[in-house]
Amino acid sequence: MGPATSGSVAAKRRPRPPRKWLPSRSTIAILQITVLVIILLAWYVLGKAKILPEFFFGDPVLVFGQIWDWTASGEIFIHLGITLSETLLGFAIGAILGVIGGIWLGLSPVAGALFDPYVKAINAMPRVILGPIFILWFGLGIISKVALAVSLVYFVVFFNVSQGVREVNPAILANARMLGASKRQLLRAVYIPSALSWVFSSLHTSVGMAFVGAVVGEYLGSAGGIGYLILQAESTFDVNAVFAGMVVLTVFALLLDLAITIIERRLIARRAS
């Protein structure tokens, strides 16, 4: 008893490793804003000092002035509505098809082996070049832009979902089968929850891809949208308007990504409960 007791006392007296300091969310937010302010100030100062020529790099004051002019005139809302509708439709359709295709090929070894080389070949192809083909097929309307966004979103979601389904814990799967779970019950209670984190990981990446599809489609041919505004600014060498369009796209891409994060946290909290 003596050695055991002394050993337990020594274990209790063992010094704990120092805790790492983790900043709070408010502190991180303040630091992020500080970094942004420093970047904007550096951009402004370097431009005024002629180190960064304003003809090529623009002026942050004029960039935000352009955004203000678009907002005051209401012009930005018309073009933003067009781009957002194309982006959201392409994002939703591509994500749904990617989830369905990923689950199907992930659960079917025969189908996976059969279609795997074709899927990889299409994924390796730069899908932006499909834009002119979609315009030829569907015209200059919204459908061609949505089709291009779908082609970019689909494969990101597809590969993540397929990998998530294949990496289901074999022990959990075996236990569920021993309890008599049907294929539908396995899909609902085992496969989909296992792939859920992979799904949301792919959705965060797909947001930017959906915007890329919509904007590139507008570049190739359109009469409205943020890509159309940027194209018009490029034709007149208005670099400030180009950066203004990029800022607007970035802000709304971040907002959409934030919405996905909120949905993800709620689903994770529901699963935990």
Distances (CA, A) of 173 to 48, 97, 180: 64, 25, 11
- pLDDT tens sequence across 138-160: 888 889 899 999 999 998 888 88
CATH topology of domain 58-272: MetI-like fold (1.10.3720)
Residue 68 reports pLDDT greater than 70: yes
Residue 195 reports pLDDT greater than 80: no
Rounded to two decimals, the pTM is 0.78
The residue extents of the domains of the chain are 1-52, 58-272
DSSP 87-100: HHHHHHHHHHHHHH
Residue 2 reports pLDDT greater than 60: no
Percent of the chain having pLDDT more than 90? 15
Q: Please choose, from the candidates 102, 98, 91, the residue with its C-alpha nearest in 3D space to the C-alpha of residue 209.
A: 91
Of 19-28, 32-41, 89-98, 119-128, the poorest mean pLDDT is in 19-28
pLDDT, residue 18, reads: 58
Q: What is the mean pLDDT of residues 179-195?
A: 72
Residue 93 reports pLDDT greater than 90: yes
Alpha-helix residue ranges (DSSP H) falling in 74-141: 75-107, 109-124, 130-138
Q: What is the mean pLDDT of residues 218-238?
A: 85
Residue 56 reports pLDDT greater than 90: no
Number of H helices, E strands in the chain: 13, 0
